[in-house]
Amino acid sequence: MASTLPAAVGFLAEVRQDGGRPLDAVFASLGSRAELKERTADQSLRTVVLHSGAPDGAHARARGRTLVLAGELYNQDELLRLLPPGQALPGTDAALVLALFDTYDAHAFRLLNGRFAALVAAPGRAVLATDHAGSVPLYVSAAPGRVLAATEAKALRTAPAGRPLAARPVRRLPGTHQVPAGTVLDIEVATGNCVTHRTWTPPLARRIMREEEAVESVRHAVEHAVRARTGADTPLVVLSGGIDSSTVAALAARRSAGPIDTVSMGTDEADEFPQARVVAGHIGSAHREITIPTADLLRRLPHTVRAAECLDPDIVEYLLPLTALYLRLGDQGRRILTGYGADIPLGGMHREDRLPELDTAVCRDMDTFDGLNEMTPTLSGIGGHWSTHPYWDRDVLDLLVSLEAGLKRRYGQDKWVLRAAMGDVLPHEVVVRPKLGVHEGSGTTSSFTRLLTDAGVPRDRVRRAKQLVVQELFDQVVVEGRQPDEVATGAVVELVADRLPAGVR
């Protein structure tokens, strides 16, 4: 069971036959670095792992193969049952995955429930894998004789142009691609030829369940996912007081020997402090409130884009307040649980009553999440922390997505099945509290809008202007590799506001 931080939270890996120059290992995530170099007859492998004290746990080597793993597994118990009897038990997640690779080869990745990015270097091959949700982003640049991979795109910004792959190209980094969610890329190093295997796909069928059965299944699955993510350490839950994070906090508190820690962020313009306080009081957590002045919040936009490497302005608005919070936590190396992502399979952002539209929204969001990087551990990694999201546990997600829409909206309530599952755990007022997005509860959407309108952006161009601001930030802090503290949000807003009337697309 995961108890401290994962052995590694990120890596850069270079598998080469071309003898090219090694890349600078540039990461936004904090962490110590450890370098590993090995040569076999036909290729060399160099990895730099970002770790928190136990870099050896991030690598495993056996039978001419080396595996590097950033992140962690949540179904070790099941996986161990697959190993041949009598085999010594692997001591780390990396060793476990490599042992499974012996039996299943690339199909091993279909077995894993985890939050990870991985690379296996085998004779003539580089195998790259993401978890089902691509929740630890993984980027690759491949050309005949070399495969370069990293958990942050910026680490590949100086890579020589790679060849096209059947994966999403990264803006303005020629030949750098993002490995899709739930995917293995099996690359032949000599040629750069790539075979793609999907290891997960969102369920499209919907399950019919009696109310009690659905409620019981959801309760059980979320409880299990929270347990797999906590272990011995006192967990820290980022708590808004909404049903999603309150559920995580309450379930974490139930299984913890002592009080857990919770923290809420707000700004000088808006907060959900009273709502979070009700939950903290109820579960007896050691609770903190952190108020971030709006000007400071907006100053974190470059940091957010640099961490998430995200080009979607809506997502950046969700991630900005959380990034600002992670940077203000202070203490080092916390394991953080969030309620992030619950609204996607449950249609929580969808504010109307009709079921076809609800299920359409769920399908759309499950079709479009890949590449947004909203779950990336780098967001908290820039503060030296590790975050994990129980609602995007593979089992929880499979269950929540597949429930028929009438269990998600019922009796006029959104996310009904989750609320019903928490009826005996949380106070009634928490169970029925209407949804408020983090971008609303912190005033982020409105303050970002105001920044633009104050700079002269017409109201009907605000969304477009936000998109351009995020794009410009991406170009500066990811593509050009600038430090986020040197990039002024205000200056970027001015630049965009000046360009807009000319109708720049």
Q: Does 397 bind ligand IOT (CB under 6 A)?
A: no
Catalytic annotation on 340?
yes
Max intra-chain CA distance, the chain = 71
- Does 242 participate in binding Mg ion (rule CB under 5 A)? yes
Part in contact with ligand IOT (CB under 6 A); list of ranges 86-94, 203-211, 333-341, 376-384: 333-341
SS3 letters across 298-323: HHCHHHHHHHHCCCCHHHHHHHHHHH
Query: Closest distance between ligand IOT and the C-beta of residue 415, in Å?
Result: 10
User: Which one of Mg ion, ligand IOT, none is in contact with 34 (Cβ closer than 5 to 8 A by kind)?
Assistant: none
Shortest Å, Cβ 326 to Mg ion: 16
152 is annotated as an active-site residue:
no
Q: Which does 184 bind (CB under 5 to 8 A by kind): Mg ion, ligand IOT, none?
A: none
Catalytic residue among 72, 435, 466, 472: 435
Q: How far is the CB of 503 from ligand IOT (least distance, A)?
A: 29
Q: Which DSSP string do the residues of 214-274 spell out, in sequence order?
A: HHHHHHHHHHHHHHHHHTTSPPEEE--SSHHHHHHHHHHHHH-SSPPEEEEEEESS---HH
* 135 or 141: CB nearest ligand IOT: 135
Q: Are the C-beta atoms of 132 and 181 separated by less than 8 Å?
A: yes
341: alpha, beta or left, given left = phi > 0 and alpha = psi -120 to 50?
left
Exposed / middle / buried, residue 260 (Cβ in 10 Å: 0-12, 13-18, 19+): buried
- Helix/strand/coil for 326: helix
Give the distance, in angstroms, between the CA of residue 272 and the centroid of all CA atoms in the same chain.
24
Applying CB under 6 A, which of residues 76, 442, 445, 476 lies at the interface with ligand IOT?
Answer: 442
Is the CB of 71 or the CB of 441 nearer to ligand IOT?
A: 441
Q: How far is the CB of 106 from ligand IOT (least distance, A)?
A: 27
Listed residue (44, 75, 49) closest to 60, CA to CA: 49
Number of residues that bind Mg ion (CB under 5 A): 6
Q: How far is the CB of 249 from ligand IOT (least distance, A)?
A: 9
Least distance (Å) from ligand IOT to the CB of residue 260?
13
Q: Which stretch binds ligand IOT (CB under 6 A): 2-10, 35-43, 166-174, 366-374?
A: 366-374
Angle at 317 between CA 49 and CA 315, to 5 degrees: 60
CB nearer to ligand IOT: pick between 340 and 416: 340
Q: Check if 37 is active-site.
A: no
What residues are paired with 14 via a beta bridge? 46, 148
Q: Which is nearer to ligand IOT, 66 or 338 (CB)?
A: 338
Residues in 263-322 that interact with ligand IOT by CB under 6 A: 264-266, 272, 318, 322
- CA dist 237 to 251, 340, 344, 389, Å? 11, 11, 19, 10
Residue 178 identity = Q
CA angle in degrees (0–180, nearest 5) for 216-354-348: 55
- Residue found by looking up tokens 């997600």 in the block: 397
Instruction: Report, in Å, the least distance between residue 375 CB and Mg ion.
Output: 13
Instruction: Determine the distance from the C-alpha atom of residue 59 to the mean position of all C-alpha atoms in its chain, rounded to a whole number.
Output: 21
Please identify which of the residues 326, 340, 391, 472 carries the catalytic annotation: 340
- Strands in 84-212 per DSSP E: 114-122, 125-130, 139-143, 146-150, 168-169, 177-178, 183-188, 194-198
User: Is position 240 an interface residue for ligand IOT (rule: CB under 6 A)?
Assistant: yes
Least Å distance, CB 114 to ligand IOT, is 20
Please pick, from the candidates 23, 25, 48, 344, the single residue that binds ligand IOT as defined by CB under 6 A: 344
Judged by beta carbon, residue 177 or residue 439, the one nearer Mg ion is 439
In sequence order, the 6+-apart residues with CB closer than 8 A to the CB of 21 are none
Counting contacts by CB under 5 A, is residue 240 touching Mg ion? yes
Q: Which of 182, 192, 242, 347 binds ligand IOT (CB under 6 A)?
A: 242
The catalytic residue among 14, 272, 374, 472 is: 374
Binding site for Mg ion (CB under 5 A): 240, 242, 244, 342-343, 436
User: Could you list the active site residues?
Assistant: 340, 374, 435
Binding site for ligand IOT (CB under 6 A): 238-240, 242, 244-245, 264-266, 272, 318, 322, 325, 338-344, 349, 365, 369, 372, 374, 437-438, 441-442
